[in-house]
């Protein structure tokens, strides 16, 4: 019995030691971190984002139905044979549309989803693909965190998934938020959150300062965005947009007012590179 207790104590100490070392690596700028690479695909007014770190891959949203194969081709060109984590922020067709194609072509180890039922054909196809691949998705009801290479990912659900009375469009404000901390760099992925959710996050002090933000809802302006920028204080931003639906002028003026350097995917694929200290964004312009 004493031997079993001793082994249990050793196991707990080992786990605590590993977590302490991870936190140390995150905070100690003297430790060289494995680079974090983010790619924002040019898929029109839709989100399809791939993060890579330490041989692991994470996908945040999958674009529309027609974008699924482009996402798969990109992953294969990067020699990614396993998606460690797939996060679907919400069930709009321009975020979940390509998920069934992804799951049918590349193994996915873990799937995080918001905890509300979708109603679109794309949602139905996504659920069917999960069942066919014997993947049990994880609905996110409370904040959760996990390591990703040398980064730490925190996923935050909305305060409630209760559909407001009389609401016709509610998916956007149910978006999962993902905060990725890599050394001294912090990246915020916002899905399509709108005014009501932004006000909730700001008033309840749920938003950390981040030097990068994936701007919400394809650059569509709302009056809460100024409070969002005041709170998060980003230096860089990416807007997932298209030539037909570019970021709104008032949004771009607001970003300029707060000194945020912004790129739009309508001009081409965007690559983000973090070494834990510096953060760089590059764009390959496609006409």
Sign of CA dihedral 62, 68, 72, 75: negative
Q: pLDDT by residue (tens digit) across 249-285?
A: 999 999 999 999 999 999 999 999 999 999 999 998 8
Instruction: Decide if 278 contacts 245 (C-beta within 8 A).
Output: no
Which of the four pLDDT bands, split at 50, 70 and 90, describes residue 22? Answer: very low
Instruction: Decide if 174 contacts 148 (C-beta within 8 A).
Output: no
Q: Is there a single domain that holds both residue 78 and residue 166?
A: yes
Q: Is there a single domain that holds both residue 14 and residue 39?
A: no
Q: Is there a single domain that holds both residue 113 and residue 253?
A: yes
pLDDT of residue 165: 67
> pLDDT higher for 122 or 19?
122
Q: Is there a single domain that holds both residue 57 and residue 168?
A: yes
Q: Is there a single domain that holds both residue 20 and residue 125?
A: no
pLDDT of residue 287: 62
Q: Is there a single domain that holds both residue 154 and residue 50?
A: yes
Q: Is 286 a residue whose pLDDT tops 90?
A: no
Q: Is there a single domain that holds both residue 25 and residue 146?
A: no
Q: Is 14 a residue whose pLDDT tops 60?
A: no
pLDDT of residue 4: 43
pLDDT of residue 285: 81
Q: Is 6 a residue whose pLDDT tops 80?
A: no
CATH number assigned to the domain comprising residue 55: 3.60.15.10
Q: What share of the chain is helix, strand, coil (3-state, %, to 5)?
A: 35, 25, 40
Instruction: Decide if 182 contacts 204 (C-beta within 8 A).
Output: no
Q: What residues contact residue 196 under an 8 Å CB cut-off, 6+ apart?
A: 173
Distance CA 146, CA 89 (A): 17
Q: Is there a single domain that holds both residue 9 and residue 80?
A: no
Q: Is there a single domain that holds both residue 21 and residue 114?
A: no
Q: Is there a single domain that holds both residue 52 and residue 9?
A: no
Residue 274: how many other CB atoms lie within 10 Å: 27
Instruction: Write the CA distances from 110 to 26, 84, 157, 162, 261, integer angstroms.
Output: 23, 6, 17, 25, 33
Q: pLDDT by residue (tens digit) across 166-212?
A: 666 789 999 999 999 999 999 999 999 999 999 999 988 889 999 99
- Tokens 């959710």 sit at which residue? 197
Q: Is 87 a residue whose pLDDT tops 90?
A: yes
Q: Is there a single domain that holds both residue 193 and residue 142?
A: yes
Q: pLDDT by residue (tens digit) across 111-165?
A: 999 999 998 999 999 999 999 999 999 999 999 999 999 999 999 999 999 877 6
Q: Is there a single domain that holds both residue 155 and residue 27?
A: no
Q: Is 12 a residue whose pLDDT tops 50?
A: no
Number of domains observed in the structure of the chain = 2
Q: What residues contact residue 12 under an 8 Å CB cut-off, 6+ apart?
A: none
Report the b/e string of 74-92 with b at 16+ CB within 10 A: bbeeeebeebbbbbbbbbb
Structural domain range at position 5: 1-31
Distance CA 229, CA 171 (A): 22
pLDDT of residue 9: 40
Distance CA 217, CA 24 (A): 35
Q: pLDDT by residue (tens digit) across 38-84?
A: 999 999 999 999 999 999 999 999 999 999 999 999 999 999 999 99
């Amino acid at each position: 019995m004493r031997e079993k207790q001793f082994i249990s104590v050793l196991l707990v100490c080992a786990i605590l030691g590993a977590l302490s070392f991870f936190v140390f690596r995150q905070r100690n700028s003297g430790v060289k971190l494995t680079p974090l690479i983010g790619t924002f695909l040019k898929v029109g007014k839709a989100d399809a984002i791939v993060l890579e770190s330490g041989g692991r891959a994470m996908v945040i949203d999958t674009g529309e139905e027609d974008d699924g194969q482009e996402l798969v081709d990109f992953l294969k060109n990067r020699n990614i044979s396993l998606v460690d984590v797939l996060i679907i922020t919400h069930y709009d067709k321009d975020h979940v549309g390509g998920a069934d194609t992804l799951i049918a072509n590349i193994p996915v180890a873990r799937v995080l989803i918001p905890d509300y039922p979708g109603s679109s054909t794309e949602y139905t196809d996504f659920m069917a693909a999960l069942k066919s691949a014997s993947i049990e998705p994880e609905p996110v009801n409370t904040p959760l965190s996990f390591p990703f290479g040398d980064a730490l990912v925190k996923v935050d659900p909305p305060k409630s998934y209760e559909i407001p009375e009389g609401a016709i469009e509610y998916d956007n404000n149910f978006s999962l938020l993902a905060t990725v901390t890599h050394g001294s760099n912090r990246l915020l992925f916002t899905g399509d959150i709108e005014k009501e959710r932004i006000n909730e996050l700001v008033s309840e002090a749920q938003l950390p300062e981040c030097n990068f933000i994936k701007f919400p809802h394809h650059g569509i302006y709302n009056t809460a965005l100024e409070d969002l920028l005041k709170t998060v204080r980003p230096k860089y931003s990416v807007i997932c947009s298209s030539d037909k639906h570019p970021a709104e002028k008032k949004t771009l003026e607001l970003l300029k007012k707060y000194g945020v350097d912004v790129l739009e995917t309508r001009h081409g694929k965007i690559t983000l590179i973090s070494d834990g200290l510096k953060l760089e964004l590059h764009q390959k312009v496609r006409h």
